[in-house]
Amino acid sequence: MKYKDYYDILGVPRTASLDDIKKAYRKLARSHHPDMSKAPDAEVRFKEIGEAYATLKDTAKRAAYDELGHPKPGAEFRPPPQWQEDFATGGMSFEDLDLADLLAAMGRGQRDGHQRAMPIKGQDFETSVTLTLEDARRGTTVNLTLADGTSERTLQVTIAPGASQDQKLRLRGKGGKGHNGGADGDIYLHIKLASHAVFRPDHHDLYFDLLLAPWEAALGAEVEVPTLDKPVLLTVPPGTRSGRKLRLRGRGLLADHSDLYAVVRIDVPTALSPRETELFQELAKVSSFNPRATKP
Amino acid sequence: MPQDPSDYASLDNSSSITLTELAQCCGLSAAELEELVDYNALAPLAVTATERTFSAHWVMPLRTAARMRLDFDLDVFTMAILLGQLIQIDVLQRQVQSLMAQIPVHLRKI
């Protein structure tokens, strides 16, 4: 078994108080937490710091650890004979354990050979899956690959029609196997929606930009618009302004309970033919419309 | 054989979860959850004849808060504050997402 210097890992002297140990741990945890540190070894370092703290914050574990003396980090050592008697019950050998396992077992009451091992819940998995908007509306089946210890397994999950962005599902008991009568773990599945060239999701509703020519907006029109299923005809009412949202009922991600919105944007031709120029000039002469006039 | 929608629960306001199950999901004790309720950080839906029930939308933020509690050795009161902030971030992210969906593409390139 290899020795680890937990005091050195936390950067505290062997006489450090519990408060000093806690302060040192929090400081290191803040800099090495995988959510905060971009260092490639952040996860390993954080685990090491956590392992050191789990032992040194617990008076009994710290005393047992201190019994080991002060070998060099990485040096092979033999745990005291009493440990052998206490831990190596049920055919378990010290060869199967490392120092962290051994000290962690103390917290689970395994040092006393007469106590029953505590039930341990199986590992939970948190994973995500990215769906296209079409699959989210129609429903689909996804394969989840789960790294269960050293092996991998695949679980098929049927996603019901109407999934939405950031929806979270819990698959109870489908995670890792429990131990000593503990419950099996769960799978937490986070659904993400892939970005779409046309549509933007807002919960179960969808939005897209509808470009209109000035005369379509002013006179009204029937225009073909895309949906996740097939194109449909949309009636643009006369006098439609830019920014107006035209609703297509039941065309969102959750059929019949969500909608598709066309957000109107009026576009103008950048180059005009002589005839078009003439018509616009004529319109400018006869129209009394002033978009900058103060509205009542 | 694929897991059908009846085999899983959506973790939102549409489903509920008991105190015991919520504790198991988040790796917290029932007493710790009760303490969070006392701090008004966690709101039960109702108290049934047997135990409290909660909206399932609490599960994910509570799991995150409980993980951070372990990672940074926080006490339950700090976790209560953290949980409130996590929920607030989630609400704001949803609002941003909603606004981004409604704003035309040409106006979003700030």
Contact A46 B71 (CB under 8 A): yes
Contact A172 B8 (CB under 8 A): yes
CA atoms of A8 and A4, how far apart (whole Å)? 9
Contact B3 A158 (CB under 8 A): yes
C-alpha A267, offset from chain centre: 39
> What one-character-per-residue DSSP string does A242-257 give?
TT-EEEETT-SSSTTT
pLDDT band at A113 (very low <50, low <70, confident <90, very high): very low
* Residue pair A83/A113 in contact by the 8 Å Cβ criterion: no
Query: Which residue of chain A comes nearest to B21, CA vs CA?
Result: A172
State ipTM: 0.89
Average pLDDT, chain B: 90
Say how many Å lie between the first and final Cα of chain B, rounded.
47
Contact B9 A169 (CB under 8 A): yes
- Length of chain B in residues, anyone? 110
Residue A231 has pLDDT above 60, yes or no: yes
Of A74, A54, A49, nearest to A64 (Cα)? A54
Average pLDDT, chain A: 87
Nearest to B71 among A33, A201, A207 (CB): A33
Of B103, B62, B100, nearest to B83 (Cα)? B62
Of A2, A112, A10, nearest to A68 (Cα)? A2
Tell me which residue has tokens 């070894």.
A41
Between A201 and A99, whose confidence is greater? A201
**Per-residue pLDDT averaged across B26-38, rounded?**
94
Question: Parallel, antiparallel, or unpaired: how do β-strands A260-266 and A205-212 relate?
Answer: parallel
State whether residue A277 is helix, strand or coil.
Answer: helix
The pLDDT of residue A2 is 79
Task: Enumerate residues 6+ apart whose C-beta is below 8 A from A64.
Answer: A83, A103, A106
Between A210 and A183, whose confidence is greater? A210
Nearest to B10 among A25, A169, A172 (CB): A169
- For chains A and B, CB pairs below 8 A equal 88
pLDDT band at A130 (very low <50, low <70, confident <90, very high): very high
Q: How close does chain A come to B4, measured CA to CA in Å?
A: 5
**Per-residue pLDDT averaged across A51-63, rounded?**
91
pLDDT band at A99 (very low <50, low <70, confident <90, very high): confident
**Per-residue pLDDT averaged across A235-248, rounded?**
96
pTM of the entire predicted model: 0.80
Find chain A residues with C-beta within 8 A of B11's C-beta.
Answer: 168-170, 188
Of A142, A110, A147, nearest to A126 (Cα)? A147
Find chain A residues with C-beta within 8 A of B4's C-beta.
Answer: 158
**Residue A38: strand pairing partners:** none
The pLDDT of residue A105 is 67
Say how many Å lie between the first and final Cα of chain A, rounded.
84
Residue A114 has pLDDT above 70, yes or no: no
Find which of A141, A203, A207, A212 to mutate to test the B interface (most B CBs within 10 Å of its CB).
A207
CA atoms of A208 and A196, how far apart (whole Å)? 10
State whether residue B94 is helix, strand or coil.
Answer: helix
CA atoms of B66 and B80, how far apart (whole Å)? 10
State whether residue B3 is helix, strand or coil.
Answer: strand
Helix H or strand E segment including B9? strand B9-10
Name the percent of chain A lying above pLDDT 90: 61
**Per-residue pLDDT averaged across B48-62, rounded?**
89
* Residue pair B15/B9 in contact by the 8 Å Cβ criterion: yes
Residue A256 has pLDDT above 50, yes or no: yes
Find chain B residues with C-beta within 8 A of A200's C-beta.
Answer: 100-102
State whether residue A231 is helix, strand or coil.
Answer: coil
Nearest to A169 among B11, B97, B104 (CB): B11
Q: How close does chain A come to B48, measured CA to CA in Å?
A: 22
Question: Angle at which helices B59-72 and B19-26 pack, to 10 degrees?
Answer: 50
Structure confidence by residue, pLDDT tens digits, A176-193: 888 888 888 999 999 999
Q: Is A125 on the interface with B (CB under 8 A)?
A: no
Between A74 and B70, whose confidence is greater? B70
Residue A87 has pLDDT above 80, yes or no: no
pLDDT band at A107 (very low <50, low <70, confident <90, very high): low
Between A255 and B98, whose confidence is greater? B98
DSSP A273: -
Nearest to B4 among A126, A158, A186 (CB): A158
Number of helices and strands in chain A (H, E): 9, 11
Question: Parallel, antiparallel, or unpaired: how do β-strands B16-18 and B52-55 relate?
Answer: antiparallel
Least confident of A101-115, A154-168, A265-279: A101-115
Here the tokens at position A219 are 């006179």
Query: Which residue of chain B comes nearest to A265, CA vs CA?
Result: B104
Query: Which residue of chain A comes nearest to B99, CA vs CA?
Result: A202
CA atoms of A256 and A249, how far apart (whole Å)? 7
